[in-house]
Amino acid sequence: MTQRLPEADNAAGVLYVVATPIGNLGDMVPRAIEALQSASVIAAEDTRHSARLLAHFSITTQAVAYHEHSGPERTEQLLARLQAGETVALISDAGTPLVSDPGYRLVRAARQAGIRVVPIPGACALVAALSAAGLPSDRFAFEGFLPSKSGARRATLAALAAESRTLIFYEAPHRILATLQDIAEVVGPERELVLARELTKTFETLRGGPVAALAEWVAGDSDQQRGEIVLLMRGAPAKKSGDLDAEAERVMGVLLEELPVKQAASIGARLTGLKKNRLYQWALDRE
């Protein structure tokens, strides 16, 4: 039995955060259709892009643009409608709003104003990719889009290289090859990666393997440099209990080049804040 959507009262409206398909229109849930049909207005990331979706489901509700370039006045306009008792449905170009999407500004404003915010779940590219990737999914982190410039991208990857959780990124098709090459050089050519492309669409592709091999495959097939792309990277192996972080290892390495183990451990403890006995044992294990 389908539960009816909550209705707005005269005191305040309801903001629906509505997930839409990421490709296959068959993934639209009935509750989402009802919300869009019954809303006073639809706040869409791109009204032209969403027109096909709305037409397919015979949704005639007025749509207004709400995207990253919308000024605060658009948020205020939508908030005023909510406060007047109207319902607003928020959608993105595809998938779940607020995931790599600026809709949080409206959601935050509505919540601060005491407006009821109702999520209507559905498709989400990162969750769909994770569910089929075969990588550990008990702990994962979504990093959105990596920086577009190689230098900044490499710096970000270096900061994430030791992360033990599965990492998920979105990537633009024209940058995918350069990004894979940067991952291979910064994180290591053998790090396991899964490339999920055009999920739920005609040319859906999921392929996994060492990142260097994936980069070679993408370089040799221009079709893999098209469409919507999700990258999933296996986390770094967990450090053993006796391992040190990179900076502590660097300090101890320098000290051990000049000093006996006991003295290096003593000085290293003062420099790193770690226990002298731990550094001493670490040095002995290296010999």
Are 90 and 143 within one domain? no
- pLDDT score for 264: 93
Please check whether residue 258 lies inside any domain of the structure.
yes
What tokens appear for 78 in the block?
């939508």
- pLDDT score for 13: 93
Mean pLDDT of the chain: 92
Domain assignment of residue 281, given as a range: 246-286
Cβ count within 10 A of residue 215: 23
Q: pLDDT band for position 3 (50/70/90)?
A: low
b/e per residue 34-67 (b: at least 16 CB within 10 A): bbbebbbbbbbbebeebeebbeeeebeeebeebb
Question: Cα-flanking dihedrals φ and ψ of residue 64, to 5°?
Answer: -125, 150
Are 90 and 167 within one domain? no
CATH code for the domain in which residue 63 is found: 3.40.1010.10
Are 184 and 93 within one domain? no
Angle between helices 261-272 and 276-286 (to 10 degrees): 130
- pLDDT score for 18: 98
Please check whether residue 162 lies inside any domain of the structure.
yes
Q: pLDDT band for position 70 (50/70/90)?
A: confident
Cβ count within 10 A of residue 31: 19
Please check whether residue 49 lies inside any domain of the structure.
yes
Are 110 and 201 within one domain? no
Please check whether residue 2 lies inside any domain of the structure.
no
Please check whether residue 5 lies inside any domain of the structure.
no
Does 172 score more than 90 pLDDT?
A: yes
- pLDDT score for 9: 46
Are 36 and 113 within one domain? yes
CATH code for the domain in which residue 208 is found: 3.30.950.10
Are 250 and 221 within one domain? no
Residue that finishes a domain, picked among 80, 104, 123: 123
Q: pLDDT band for position 12 (50/70/90)?
A: confident
Are 213 and 259 within one domain? no
Highest mean pLDDT out of 126-130, 237-241, 271-275: 126-130
Please check whether residue 22 lies inside any domain of the structure.
yes
Does 287 score more than 90 pLDDT?
A: no
Q: Which helix (H) or strand (E) holds 14?
A: strand 14-18
The reply to whether the predicted model has a pTM over 0.85 is no
Are 119 and 130 within one domain? no
**DSSP state letter for 161:** T
Are 186 and 226 within one domain? yes
Residue that finishes a domain, picked among 93, 123, 153: 123
Does 8 score more than 50 pLDDT?
A: no
Q: Work out the average pLDDT over 41-51.
A: 95
Number of domains in the chain: 3
Are 136 and 113 within one domain? no
